[in-house]
Structure 1
Amino acid sequence: MVRASEIALNRELWALVNERFTGPAAAALWSRPEMGWGLYGVPERRLGVLGEVDGLDVLELACGTAYWSAWLTRAGARVVAVDLSMEQLTTARTLQRSTGPAFPLVQADAEHVPLASASFDLVLSEHGAAAWCDPEYWLPEVARVLRPGGLLVFLTNTVLSALCVPEDEGVATSSLQRGQRAAYHVRWPGGGAEFHPSHGDWIRLLRRFGFHIEALHELYAPQDAPDHPYYEIVSADWASQWPAEELWVARRTLEAVTHNG
């Protein structure tokens, strides 16, 4: 029941985020000519984590307004986009009509994906499942829907940034505000429940559920970058000194574990 209440809380939060922030911002991202990761749009061509996506079956988990799905569809992938928030998916449908392209949109929780096993070559999530869903549940779901040898790519906040955000929320400081164990599962006073495992936790969990880790990219803000217009996780100055986001790349092994035991 506790987890169900947190999922409902996150759904309410993202309805509010969609109402306040994602209109013009989502349209700008859908129209962007190239793929870029995270708050500061680090180009995918520079990181090269996805490889050739033309012809791949791709699932975007916790897609938000689904701009990644739009980029990947334009690159030739067959994409399905899943999100908990009907408001975010409504924004995505509006942008499909106004900007294109079209692809399937599914309302669902990333911890319980209503799609067939072994259906996808690539599962991607940017600031989605990794922060907002319990890794004990969403990682085995990814292992289930991926084909053997398929790729999981996810971007989330660094555990360091979570450690430096004050307990009453706000922008990350230059000093630790909580213990590392406390950051694993955080219930914010302003709404929302998040997960910020340590690197050791991520390695343990990914291996447990049948993934081989291929890369971990720590992302910084470019020098002299402006602050993000509405996501106040970190300032650009903070993110130019310490990594604010981390991009994990892991491959499903032939003997993936797909249960939660």
Structure 2
Amino acid sequence: MSGPRNLPLGSDGYPAPSGVSRRPAGAAESARANRRWWDAAAPAYLAEHGRDLGDVDFLWCPEGLREGDAHLLGDVAGRRVLEVGCGSAPCARWLRRAGADVVALDLSGGMLARAAQLNRATGIDVPLVQADAGALPLASASVDLACSAYGGLPFVSDVGTALAEIARVLRPGGRFVASVNHPMRWPFPDSPDPEDLRIVSSYFDRRPYVETDDDGRAVYVEHHRTVGDWVRAVVGAGLVLEDLVEPEWAPGRTQEWGQWSPARGALVPGTLVLVTRRA
């Protein structure tokens, strides 16, 4: 069985790589690989996580932090909001229902196709745009708020350019909030079992995690930055860092996402939330 553009799928429905490595991966290679991967993985990913994400809900992270409780974006009613890396766009629909004027952007046509279906199913029609986070097709100073819940930033090679683009489209004083993989995840095995909390690689190894096909071409790329890297990237893009949030596991939450689990979440952080604004 194969997905879009003949990307082979495993028995779980996700793209099945032929190899895994740590090596450099530039902007074009990362974008091409991740667009192809998410196009193919969209059905399996949403079948696995769609219920937890919801159709009209704003989940920041696997720990269970929701915007309805956290209010990291503040009052969104009447505000122009850009979501970067919207996936099937449940966050954008939640924002629209809360009174925001929303544009939802993603690199993956497969994810946006599902978002369009859910727009029709929920009756909440948010505009959907296919574009790269490093080249936003919006006018400068055209949005009041921007957000990204694990969308785009972990997968781009040049995060400085992506953050500068977000700063460009924000109006002065506009807020940008993004959740990303906590850098503490990088040195540990990709397992939800707390018994696997042993260092297997260097926290300071910035080489991307790359999955490849039979010909050695990248089919999935995830980039690593340390906490300091994230802070410098935010400041370098002209944004003011207001807070770094490390969500704790929500009481009573049992959902596992990859290496995120209640047992592991009780011991180490899995998500970093960057709360910023344009000066």
TM over 0.5: yes
Q: Contact (CA 8 Å) 1:185, 1:194: kept in 2 or not? A: no
Please show how residues 177-196 of structure 1 align to structure 2 within 5 Å.
177-182=200-205, 184-189=206-211, 191-196=219-224
1:146-203 superposed Cα distances (whole Å, 9 cap, x missing partner): 11111010001100012213xxx55573122221221x34223364212221111111
Match of 1:237 in 2: 263
Looking at structure 2, the residues matched to 107 and 86 of structure 1 have their Cα atoms a distance apart, in angstroms, of 7
For the pair 1:72 / 2:117, whether they are aligned, the reply is no
Mapped partners of 1:41, 1:223: distance in 2: 9
Q: CA deviation at 1:28?
A: 6.1
- Which position in structure 2 is the counterpart of 1:158? 182
Return the offset for 1:235. Answer: 2.9
**Structure 1 gaps, min length 5:** 254-261
Instruction: Kindly provide the amino acid, as one letter, of the partner of residue 204 in structure 1.
Output: R
Amino acid at match of 1:220: E
Q: Within 5 Å, which residues of 2 pair with 1:67-216?
A: 67-133=90-156, 134-165=158-189, 171=192, 173-182=196-205, 184-189=206-211, 191-216=219-244
| Number of the residue aligned with 1:259 | none
Secondary structure class of the residue paired with 2:148: strand
Give how far 1:36 is off: 3.2
Write the distance in 2 (CA, Å) between the matches of 1:13 and 1:223.
33
Q: 1:170 to 1:24 in 2, by over 3 A?
A: closer
Q: Give the number of equivalent residue pairs.
A: 246
User: What one-letter code is carried by the residue in structure 1 that aligns with 2:271?
Assistant: E
What are the ranges of 5 or more consecutive residues in structure 2 without an aligned counterpart?
1-24, 213-218
**1:37 and 2:60 aligned:** yes
Structure with more contact order per residue of length (Cα contacts < 8 Å, sep ≥ 6): 2
Whole-angstrom CA distance in 1 between matches of 2:112 and 2:85: 10
Q: Write the deviation string for residues 86-110 of structure 1: whole angstroms up to 9, x where unpaired.
A: 0000000000011131011000111
SS state of the match for residue 65, structure 1?
Answer: coil
- Whole-Å separation in 2 of the counterparts to 1:246 and 1:65: 22
Q: CA RMSD in A?
A: 2.1
- CA 1:181–1:213 in 2, change beyond 3 Å: closer, same or farther? same
CA distance change for structure 1 residues 49 and 170 in 2, over 3 Å: closer, same or farther? same
Whether the 8 Å contact between 1:117 and 1:144 is mirrored in structure 2 is yes
